[in-house]
Amino acid sequence: MKLKNLPKKLGHYNKIYLISHTDLDGVGPSIVLQAYGIAHEADFVETRKVDEAVLARLAELEDNELLIITDLSVSKEVAEAITTVNKEPNARFVCLIDHHASALYLNDYAWASEIPVLDDIKMSATTLIFKYLDEAGYAVNPQLADDEAEIVDYSPQQTAVFFDRLARFVENVRLYDTWDWHALKIQQAADLNTIFYARRRHEFIKDRFNYILTGQLFTEADDTYLTFSKDELRKVLKKKEKQLVIVKDYSLQGHEHPLNIGVVETDSYVSELGNHLAEKFDGDIDCVFIVSLVKNRVSLRSIGKAVNLSEIAKHYNGGGHPNASGCDLSELGMDFIVAIQNAPKAIKK
């Protein structure tokens, strides 16, 4: 595995910073680091703000400090700034671990690892950092992130149990982020993502850390919410089927031929809705664009290999995976907005 970028002696740094994405796979690396007893300060940022966040941290990075970037890519300009920092002989270092095919250009830099697939398995950022720490010989050593908390020494048997629980959590994150959960029908992974968006981020992180210690992946409150959420999801899917419109024969940068695009507006259940509509209207549409007017975002979803959405998103200053990507709605321009307004509703099958 070509994880060439993360220093082997993390304990040699006075302070470790993490900049990661705001979704489940973005939060996962922080939980993994905490599970290994690696103290760090985490900032979670949206894709469009990553360059700004990294440059701000670079300006503040002091000697003998480490910055880890996960589940995010940076522009070439910021990449050059990182290279400059890493060349300075002051023990400051920056590394990046990501898995998006749209950012493979970052593999040209010695401090970056972009690994979408490893051993024929689709990767997540959480999986990659977990694999690195395991293969580098780190032992799972969960410690409370409290300056006054006592250091706990665990037995080898306890450490083995903690490792198995952490590995299960990491795999659930990977399954959801790559959408492998749907093909393999592993509902627990989808449930984990549902709870992630239902809870405050710090509460979710705390409860998943406690899972490593106790073995309880979902709390009683989580189970109650999941029952409610599944009922709501069925209602949303049925409602959005009726609202779907089809923008026919629309040309997009990054794809050679015009596409039939199913478009619907919502801020909830984006991945579930995108996959559901792509399957239900397969043959009528090539992909689904889920618009969030509140966030000025478009989530791109498809099934199969006919359309590489990451290539399309990259041309509109976005990125992601071949079947799941995103960009700002404004990047698509007014022509696309007008096309949506003029598009006919899909005929429900």
In tens, the pLDDT along 223-249 reads 999 999 989 999 999 999 999 999 999
Q: pLDDT (tens digit, 9 = 90+) per residue, 57-66?
A: 999 999 999 9
Quote the CA–CA distance of 229 and 233 in Å, as a whole number: 6
Rounded average pLDDT over 132-153 = 80
User: 238: Cβ–Cβ under 8 A, 6 or more apart, which residues?
Assistant: none
Pick the closest to residue 298 from 307, 287, 284, 308 (CA basis).
287
Pick the closest to residue 301 from 283, 284, 276, 318 (CA basis).
276
**Structure confidence at residue 321 as a pLDDT band (50, 70, 90):** confident
What percentage of the chain reaches a pLDDT higher than 90?
80
Pick the closest to residue 242 from 269, 296, 280, 271 (CA basis).
280
Q: pLDDT (tens digit, 9 = 90+) per residue, 10-54?
A: 878 999 999 999 999 999 999 999 999 999 999 999 998 999 999
Q: Which residue has the tokens 């300060």?
A: 41
| Cα–Cα distances in angstroms (integers) from residue 259 to residues 8, 170, 232, 302, 318, in the given order | 47, 36, 31, 12, 19
Output the pLDDT for position 146.
Answer: 61
88 against 337, higher pLDDT: 337
Quote the CA–CA distance of 66 and 336 in Å, as a whole number: 42
Quote the CA–CA distance of 18 and 26 in Å, as a whole number: 10
Strand partners, 324: 301
Q: Give me the helices (H) in the chain, please.
A: 24-35, 50-60, 76-87, 125-135, 156-178, 180-184, 187-198, 201-214, 220-243, 270-280, 309-315, 329-342
Lowest model confidence (mean pLDDT) among 140-149, 159-168, 248-257, 310-319: 140-149
Pick the closest to residue 56 from 17, 21, 28 (CA basis).
17
Quote the CA–CA distance of 128 and 126 in Å, as a whole number: 6
DSSP annotation of 345 reads: B
Phi-psi region of 133 (alpha: psi -120 to 50; beta: other; left: phi over 0): alpha
Quote the CA–CA distance of 278 and 94 in Å, as a whole number: 39
Quote the CA–CA distance of 81 and 337 in Å, as a whole number: 36
Check if the beta carbon of residue 278 is closer than 8 Å to that of residue 302.
yes
**Structure confidence at residue 345 as a pLDDT band (50, 70, 90):** confident
Pick the closest to residue 6 from 26, 42, 28, 33 (CA basis).
33
Q: Inform me whether the pLDDT recorded for 349 exceeds 80.
A: no
Tokens of 60: 């503040």
Quote the CA–CA distance of 124 and 293 in Å, as a whole number: 28
Quote the CA–CA distance of 313 and 322 in Å, as a whole number: 9
